[in-house]
Amino acid sequence: MTDNNDFLTRTRLLVGDDAIADISARRVIIFGVGGVGSWCAESLVRSGITHLTIVDSDEVCVSNINRQLMATTQTIGRPKVEALRERLLSINPTADIVARRQVFCEETLPEYRFDDYDYVIDAIDSLKDKVLLIYKVCESRATLFSSMGAALKMDPTRIGVKEFMKVEGCPLARALRKRFKSLGRHPTRKFLCVYSDELLPNLGNNAADAIETTTFRKAQTNGAVAHITAIFGFTLAGLVIKDIVSQKDRDKII
């Protein structure tokens, strides 16, 4: 019997008490809490994840407001991870939310033990750092789910999930595979990606300032909207919850 004050009552009805306990016990880390990662974090906490680490170095700015969960006129100038942590704790005050304001890169890599996590969410924009994260997580016991590019999209029906090597029509996935090939080293195991094969042009007055979308060599300024970034983030969270519940179902069969 569930407590009527339990915010997970509806989730319990769907997945059962055992699955809720399993979800609560899992440890998740999200790298990048912008337009994709912030919505992923929200969905995970609302679904019962209580051990969550969020990693991002940026502060909230005005241009984030159109698509990032914690970005409002009240949070401009605040570190994204701090504003997001506050939001997540307002949903579940007892959750263990660790906010790490830093860039994930070669220099900070030693600070992370991926074997300490059950799931790693890659929502990083930087190609170099994304490559490093994928390599290292694939060498660990953690399950990796990765976001491909969510900018320059409008059609939600073209968002899908595929194993990384099977993703088509995504410039970021293509750039990653090219980088892996040039390094002569591919990820040691398969992983699922959220992606879209749609690619629209920038049309606004400052479109000329946007970096070419297929290079991924430096920070980019491309158009993006909330419904796309949110679906990417929610889908990543859904992959985590689905995997946990599926494992619980398999355990019952065994």
Write down how long the chain is: 254
Residue with tokens 């929200």: 42
Q: Which two tokens stand for residue 7?
A: 């915010």
Query: Pairing state of beta strands 192-196 and 159-163?
Result: antiparallel
User: Residues 177-191, buried b or exposed e (16+ Cβ, 10 A)?
Assistant: eebbeeeeeebeeeb
- What is the C-alpha R_g of the chain? 18
| Domains of the chain (ranges, CATH numbers) | 19-202+223-246 (3.40.50.720)
How far, CA to CA in Å, does 47 sit from each of 24, 54, 137, 245? 9, 16, 24, 11
Residue 27: strand pairing partners: 51
Edge-first strand order for the sheet with 96-100 is: 96-100, 51-55, 27-31, 119-122, 143-147, 192-196, 159-163
Contact indicator for 150, 98 with CB cutoff of 8 Å: no
Q: What is d(CA 166, CA 174) in angstroms, rounded to the nearest whole number? A: 10
What are 136's two structure tokens? 């290292």
Q: List, in order, residues 6 or more apart from 180 with CB less than 8 Å away.
A: 131, 186, 187
Q: Which two tokens stand for residue 192?
A: 């699922």
Report the number of secondary-structure helices (H) and strands (E) in the chain. 7, 7
Q: Which segments of the chain have a pLDDT < 70?
A: 1-5, 206-220, 248-254
Q: Residue 18: exposed, middle, or buried by beta-carbon count in 10 A (0-12, 13-18, 19+)?
A: middle
H/E stretch holding 27 reads: strand 27-31
Residue 196: strand, helix, or coil: strand
Question: Tell me, what's the pLDDT at 247?
Answer: 87
- Specify the pLDDT at position 221: 84
Note if the pTM is more than 0.75: yes
Please give the pLDDT value at position 254. 44
CA triple 65-66-70, angle to 5 deg: 40
Tokens of 81: 């991870």
pLDDT reported for residue 204: 84
pLDDT given for residue 1 in this prediction: 40
The CA-CA-CA angle for residues 86, 37, 134, to 5°, reads 130
79 within 8 A of 59, measured Cβ to Cβ: yes
Q: Which two tokens stand for residue 53?
A: 């680490």
Predicted confidence at residue 28, as pLDDT, reads 98
